[in-house]
Amino acid sequence: MTIESPDSPARRLLLLVDGHAFAYRAFFAIRSLTAPDGAATNAIYGFIRMLGRMQGRVRPSSMAVVWDGGLAPERMALLPQYKAQRPEMPRDLELQLDQIAAYLKAANVPSLLREGCEADDLIAALTRRAVGGGMEVVIASSDKDFMQLVGPEVRLLNPHDKSDTLLGEEEVRAKTGVEPTQIVGWLSLTGDAVDNIAGVPGVGAKTAAELLRQFGSVDALYRRLEEVRPERLRLQLEASEEVVRRNEQLVRLKCEVPYEISLEELACTPGDAAALRQLFGRWGFKSLLRELEQARLPAGDFFPETAGAC
């Protein structure tokens, strides 16, 4: 696939944003900010600025913010403790989510949620559909599960990486020691503490990568288990096969999730300048109001701080 220049009119690129992840990051990045009425606005302001920065970096032709609709029942059936260690959302953040949704509506940025569906799976399904439609995709998230989707048309934008590097296949190999197609196996062997998934005792990222480079896949590893050295490692793998097989089902993203929206509906279109003005005024976002008024662009086509709303 030919990668078009960011300024090319022929470029078709879909930016998919992990909504809850960025809301959390915005909330903790700005510790204290309130509206004239005293309501917390730190997550709202941070989210708008982060979204703007991402859009300025990627210059998408289409985009969507995707939200968690709950934990997948299939994963919960496999592992009742799945993500159970995560604390409840802070109340001040929870109260700001509807306001973030109001901003996205005014900015004409699609905000997607499917009940009982994790954002990761919906992003995976939209990614597959977009690639099948001849588009490039950039996924904005720090979740390492998304590395399994990386390919010639799919890259990652990690908010923790201040260099704004887009992670492609080469970067995934450098970071993990395995190919994107081996990420499911890699995570199945190591486990994922973030999701409360235990791996094979004694198998860390480096050992898992070495095993996958030697055998190619988890299936091949277990077919040729007698070749594994040292014996201690072979015995640990043998005793943990059921766990590894379960983990494969837990970490593999579900690209077949149905969602009734067309790629055309995700196209970037001008926002509602009047609605944005009203929201920024209510929240006391004077800098954003100034930038909105100073934007010498068609009404509503507003990019705060080098980027902003589609």
Domains of the chain and CATH, by start: 13-168+254-294 (3.40.50.1010), 180-251 (1.10.150.20)
Half-sphere exposure of 12 (CA within 13 A, CB side): 13
Q: What string of DSSP letters covers 147-168?
A: GGG-BTTEEEE-TT-TT-PEE-
Q: What string of DSSP letters covers 41-72?
A: -HHHHHHHHHHHHHHHHH--SEEEEEE--S--
Could you give the C-alpha distances from 97 to 38, 55, 303, 308, in angstroms and in order? 16, 20, 21, 18
pLDDT value, residue 201: 96
pLDDT value, residue 295: 73
Token code pair at residue 228: 């594994």
List, in order, residues 6 or more apart from 74 with CB less than 8 Å away.
249
Do the Cβ atoms of 104 and 67 come closer than 8 Å? Answer: no
pLDDT value, residue 258: 83
pLDDT in tens, 154-168: 999 998 887 889 999
Token code pair at residue 275: 């609605």
- Alpha-carbon distance of 125 to 100, in angstroms, equals 24
**Secondary structure of residue 35 in the 3-state scheme:** coil
Nearest in space to 253 (alpha carbons), one of 25, 60, 18: 18
pLDDT value, residue 136: 98
Q: Which parts of the chain sit beneath pLDDT 70?
A: 1-10, 296-310
List, in order, residues 6 or more apart from 296 with CB less than 8 Å away.
none
pLDDT value, residue 177: 98
Token code pair at residue 180: 């994107």
- Alpha-carbon distance of 46 to 30, in angstroms, equals 7
pLDDT value, residue 308: 37
Phi, psi of 67 (to 5 degrees): -115, 150
What pairing do the DSSP bridges indicate for beta strands 111-113 and 62-67? Answer: parallel
Token code pair at residue 224: 């040729």
pLDDT in tens, 168-191: 999 999 999 999 999 999 999 999
Could you give the C-alpha distances from 152 to 137, 164, 179, in angstroms and in order? 10, 18, 12
Neighbours of 137 (CB within 10 A): 25
b/e burial code for range 232-263 (CB count within 10 A of at least 16 → b): ebeeebeebeebbebbbebbbbbeebeeeeeb
